[in-house]
Amino acid sequence: MSDKKRVTGIGGIFFKSNDPDYMRTWYQKHLGLDNSPYGSVFEWRDVNNPDKKGSTIWSAFRNSTDYFQPSEREFMINFRVEDLEWLLAELKKEGIEQVGEMQVHDYGKFAHIIDPEGIKIELWEATDD
């Protein structure tokens, strides 16, 4: 077994909403969450490397979003991972199919899988710096 970590933390919680703008405003007013078009970003430091910053995102999406497909669930979880390409290869060996292609952005690499209950899982290798 490799000593590489698979999941290193929660990268984000995403959910569908009838009115994402209202939800962001409600959560800002009543719970103090920052309000931006992308939701709220919670910044933190890596416990094993305090110089390394990270973030976790909370965000409401329109009910009509197709971003959660092929899942029909109302939410999606984003997990931060250490090495996405390695993890995807391991998951493939274990019979877990990737949904779509891996995407690479300046803020990290992303890929998706579906869990046994049909929940879309987003895997994110972040570039926190």
Name the percent of the chain lying above pLDDT 90.
78
CA distances to 2, 52, 60, 87 from 13, rounded to whole Å, are 28, 21, 9, 21
- At 1 the pLDDT is 56
37 pLDDT tier (thresholds 50, 70, 90): confident
Domains, the chain, with CATH or none:
7-126 (3.10.180.10)
Query: Chain-centre distance of CA 19, in angstroms?
Result: 21
- At 88 the pLDDT is 97
First to last CA, the chain: 29
- Model confidence pLDDT, tens digit, residues 51-81: 988 889 999 999 999 999 999 999 999 999 9
Quote the tokens at residue 61. 């999406």
Higher pLDDT, 38 or 88: 88
Count each helix (H run) and each strand (E run) in the chain, helices first. Answer: 2, 7
Average predicted confidence (pLDDT) for the chain: 92
Q: CB count, 10 Å around CB of 94?
A: 7
